[in-house]
Structure formats: structure tokens, C-alpha cells
Structure 1
Amino acid sequence: MKSTFFTFFMLFFLIACKKEAPTKLNDWQIISENVQFKEDEGNFHIKSGNFKFDIPKEKLPFKKVILLNASLVGYFAELNLEHNIIGISSPEYVYSKKIQQLVQNGKIQNVGNEQKYDLEKIIALKPDAIFTNYIASFENTYDLIKKNGIEIIFLDEYLEQDPLEKSKYLLLFGQLFNQEQAAASRFDLIAKRYDSLTALAKSAANRPIVLANEMYGNQWFLPGGKSNLAQFIHDANAIYINADNAESKAIPLSFEEVFVKGQKAEYWVNIGNHQHKRELLQINPNYTKLPVYNQGKLYTINGREVGKSNDYFESGVVRADLVLQDYIKIFHSELLPDYKLTYLRELK
């Protein structure tokens, strides 16, 4: 009797599993609140912000694409998809040596910039798809591209404030370029390292207070308490001076307002691309009134910068684990004694 029951149970279990498989095909894979994707028998579907894209499966994987913003380059480099890029805008802002070489060799074409895209070249290249951030003022340009039968996909990864959600875009690119396993493997590695580093940071004996960014004109654009940078500082076990703010965007404040908030700051991070500390005084001599300027440690984000390109905004978009590792090294150097900074650099 027990044997009969067990056989019946296993048969029921197998049937249930077989019935469950098709529904999984239709489940949305969540990247973030902004981006999700799923596939059915005929199409691959992407939701990105207010846009939805339905791509026939016979058009996948993409073989040749154009990128209209450099921040997406990091995903292609992480998955070794550089040779799938046939055009890129503003290549001078790209840090990747491999892509720069492909541009020099004519394998990747310069298709203009945000002031003026070379539409004739873009259309002549006949890409399988174009990836870009959505800019409302370019709607006419987008319409012209679509009328020429070119798929244009809007991905606004810069809106993501959770560092690992930015990294998770790898899974979407893995699907579009037949690199699912490689993408899953890379994201899993990044996520596990990030979580491990977060746990390591929590073991630190103290939590230093941190100031960020700098003044532009008469305003100090201080990242909100729900911003990407605020999350990095929190996960590196430090106290961000604007952590109690509920915004994800940067908040324009006067010097006086930041001066009050930053009185106890011990570190000042994500300063621009300055080479020497004294350069800050050319922007605003009042910086000398900040205790952190005189007694603290200052860090720029130009640890990997060549010309107009900055890898913090390229591979750093994908490698959340390495960015976090930099902040932990800065705030708790004793936890990573042998590690040298990747993206940030001390300003002296």
C-alpha cells in the first residue's frame, strides 16, 4: 500500500512540475521597479519605465548594436560583447581600452553626440537595435530611427539607486545576446562579493561621518538620503550627513546649509576630477571653513580617468562590489589592508 501511494505521489509530483513549466515562461523577471523582462513562445518582452518592447525571438540574439550613451558600455565589457557594438556616440567618454581600439580600427563607428547624432550613418549601419537613455527632446530623432525599421530600446540605468539593481541589468543583456549563463554567473559573483563586503564592513569598530560631492556655482548638490551614493556609504558602515533625507535625487543646498550639516564629517568623498586639494579653493575659498577640509580625508572619483572618460561611470556602474570595496577601504582601511583603491583617489 505504501509503495502504491508513493508511486501515485511521484506521478502527481511530476505532472505538477510539467504543468508548472509553461507558467514560468510567462513570469516577469524583475530587475528593478523600472525594468523587467519575460519571454513567451514567440516574443521577448521588456518593460522599461513607461515603455514596453516586444521583440520577436527570431531577431535574437542581437548581433550588431549601437549605443547612444557611454554608461551602458560597462555591461558589454563585462560580458565580452564589445565586438557586437558597431556604433557609439561620444566615444571620447568611453574608458574601455578594447572599445577605444575598435573605434580606432574602424570596427566601431562614431555616430555623433547628444548635440547632433549622425542619423545617416546610424541608418546606414543597419543595427539590430539601438540602446540609449530616453531624452524627451529627442523624440523626433527616435521616430525617424523607428521608421527605418530599427529597434530602439530605452534603458535608464542611471535612475537605479540600489547598486546591485544596476549590476542586475547584466541579466537583461545576457538574454538579448545569448549570454544567459555568463550574465547570471557574473551577477551572482558581484552580488555575493557585495554581500560579503557589506558583512565585513559591519565588523568595523566605528562609523565615520561622511560628506559628499561639491559646489557648482552657488549651490552644493548633495545626494539625497535614498540615492545610490547614500546606499554605498551605508553599506560601507559609515554615516552619511544627508542620510535622513527621503530623496533619491541630489538636493541643491547653500554652502551654509552644508556647513552646518557637515561639521562632524571626517571624510569627504566623490569630489570631482581635481588633481590637487588646493584646486578646490579656486571653486570656493569657503571650503577652508569646513573642518573636514582641514583635518579630514578627501577623495575624488578620478582613480581611473583618461581624457574625458571616467571608469567610475562605466565599469563602476556594473561592478557595485568594487565600488563598495573602495568605500570600505577609505572608511575602514584596517579591514582591507592589502587592497588598493580602484575608482577613487585620495586628494592631497
Structure 2
Amino acid sequence: MKQKILLLFTVIALISCKREQKISSNEWTSISNHLQYKEASETLDLKSGNFTYNFKKNQVPFKKIILLNASMAGYISELGAENMIIGVSSPEYIYSEKIQNLLKEGKIQNVGSEQKYDVEKIISLKPDAIFTNHIASFDNAYQLLKNNGIQVIFLDEYMEQKPLEKTAYINLFGKLLGKDKEAEAKYGEVEKNYNELKALALKATSKPVVLANEMYGDVWYLPGGKTSVANFISDANAEYILKNNTDEKAVTMSFEEVFSKSKGVQFWVNAGNHLSKKELLSINSFYSKLDVFNKGKIYGIMGREKQKANDFFESGIVRSDLILKDYIKIFHPELLPDYQLTYMKELQ
């Protein structure tokens, strides 16, 4: 009898352990390997890369925020939360018309640039939080802001290489700004569109070979085979010339190395924001040796530009579905006969 009771307690204990493990493993909401958050009864915990944060429930949602990176404006705009922004750095790189109007009205302040932030002005604005990418050379400025009771949140969304994971950062912004429903709806819409477009691309009868990016000086900075550009090209059912590469960062090559790999390339994408092939050639005459320059099609990312601002790096951060749609239109135009490119434009 004692053995039966002991066995029963053992089974119950094992079930309880399994339940505890399951609850523990599901506590954190994982947006990507870089970003997770967890909600408790009194706190909101955040892990972003090497940084951890613990916000008390009376600290969030934030009401007044400062953005030190133009790309993050894309998330705020998609949530319709532009009125929460009280300061931005380098406003000339922000594409959003609403944010630009708020700047003109003085409701959003210019707080410097990535060369020098106006720390005194930032402190005087008394933001609830600052969102930025971490730049090591600004650690002293960050510490001064923290010493004045300002939350400095490093997100580094540029490190994300899976398009939908980068889009999913909107869910965190929704959580921190009290826009949960709006964030969930937007992410759900983009995710659905993206997966449907990816399935559509598989119906194409061809799989063209693709080259990407351009040279700076004597070096061609090609996206690594695991970067977001490479993932977009693959999801659009095309073959990137570095598809077997495993880097999540740019790969540097000489023109000769790229030339040797460029046989059979039909499309050249993300070729800067140049207006024409002639302009591209004036920067580097070697391009004329490429078959894709003479016989293929070349596309730059200048479809939505205003002076220094490029919406590809702003709304495009969230709207991964529209970027994928552009690539599919380029590689397989027959699949989207009525669609006009959003962020890309062909060089003539």
C-alpha cells in the first residue's frame, strides 16, 4: 500500500515538474534570438541582445519618447503613435510626413545627430524613454541620461536578418506604448501577406540569378547568404549568387571576385539610390564589364525618397510584405501584373 502511495506521489511530482517546466519555458515571448519580453503581475521584463530591462507596471506604457534612429520611426508610424514622439535625432533622414509636420510645429524637437547628441536638451525634455541602437562611443552620453532617470532602450533591430522577425518588433513597441491591439493587427496583416506572397512566388516557372548591392571604392559589399536581403531574394523564389554563404553580415569582395561569380546573373538589386545606369557607370566604369549591366535589369532602392530620407529604411522595416512584393514583381512580373513597385525602381 505504501509503495502505491509513494508511486502516486512520484507521478504527481513528475506531472507538477513538467507543468512547471512548461510554464517556465513559455514565460518569455520570443520575438527573435535577440529580443524577448516577459509580463508579470507587476513588471515587464525585456531582453535585447546583451541588455536587460525591468519596467514596473506604473512606468509603462510610455507617453513621451525620443527616437535616436530613423528606422524606429517606421514602427511608431505604423502604430499611429507619432504624437508620443517628443524628440528625434537626424530628422533629415526621417521620411514620415506626419513626423516632419510635427517637427515644423515644434511638437517634436531635433536632439542632434549620431555625430553629437544634445544631451542637455534631451534631459530638459524629460522623456519617459529613449529608443536607439547601441553605439559604444556614446556610452558616456547614455550613462549621463540614465543618471538623470531616463530609460535608454537599446533595440538594435538592424541585426535581425529574418524579415518577419524584424517586423515583429512592432509587437514590443505596442506593448511599451499601450498599443497592443494595433500592433497585433498590423503584424498579423504583414505576416499573412508575406506568407501568401512567398507561396505565390513558388508558382513561378523560372528562378533567376541575382546580384545585390554595389561597390564603395575598390570593395563590393555583398549581403551575406543569411542576411535579410538574401532571405528576401530566396523567399521571392530567385537564386542569390552567395546563396551558400552563411554570413549574417556583408561579405567584402573585389570587382574581379564578383565578376567571376556574375555569369548568368539576370537581375541586379539594391544598387544604391542612383537615378540611371549612366550615373552608376560614372561612379565605377568597371560595371560596364558585367553582363547584367549590359543585358539584364538593375534596380535601386529610390522608389520612396525625399532628399536624404528613404522610406525603404523606415516603413520598409515593418512592411516586409511590401519589400517581398517588390522583389517578386522584379523577378516574376507575370505573377503580379497590376502591381507597381513601392520601394524599388529600375535604372534606365
- Secondary structure in 1 aligned to 2:55? strand
Residues of 1 paired with 2:302 and 2:152: CA distance?
32
Match of 2:68 in 1: 68
Deviation string for 1:264-310 (max 9, x for gaps)? Answer: 10000001111111111112111111000000000000100001000
Aligned equivalent of 1:9: none
Question: How does 1:1-348 map onto structure 2 within 5 Å?
Answer: 23=23, 27-348=27-348
For 1:59-97, what per-residue CA distance to the aligned partner results, in whole angstroms no more than 9, with x for missing partners?
111000000111100000000010000000000000000
Secondary structure of residue in 1 paired with 2:62: coil
Alignment deviations for residues 17-37 of structure 1 (CA, whole Å, 9 cap, x no partner):
xx99x9589710000000000
Q: Where does the alignment leave 5 or more consecutive residues of structure 1 unmatched? A: 1-15
Mapped to 2, the partners of 1:235 and 1:283 lie a distance apart of 31
Deviations 1:231-288 (A, max 9, x none): 0000000000011111010111000000011111000000111111111111211111
Distance in 2, Cα, partners of 1:116 & 1:287: 37
Amino acid corresponding to residue 119 of structure 2 in structure 1: L
- Taking every aligned residue pair, what percent have the same amino acid on both sides? 58
Q: Which runs of 5+ in 2 are unaligned?
A: 1-15
Query: How large is the Cα RMSD of the aligned pairs?
Result: 1.5
Deviation readout 1:37-56 (Å, 9 max, x if unpaired): 00111111000000000011
Structure-1 separation of matches of 2:163 and 2:141: 31
More moved, 281-290 vs 220-229:
281-290
SS at match of 1:271: coil
Read off the aligned partner of 1:287 and give its amino acid letter. Y
Hey, what's the Cα distance between the residues in 2 that align with 1:261 and 1:248?
A: 20
Kindly tell me the number of residue pairs found equivalent between the two proteins: 330
Whether contact under 8 Å (1:224, 1:250) holds in the other structure is yes
Amino acid across the alignment from 2:175: Q
If the length of structure 2 is used for normalisation, what is the TM-score?
0.93
Give the counterpart letter for 2:282 in structure 1: Q
Distance in 1 between residues matched to 2:219 and 2:24, nearest whole Å? 50
Runs of 4+, deviation exceeding 6 Å? none
User: Secondary structure at 2:58's aligned position in 1?
Assistant: helix
SS at match of 1:299: strand
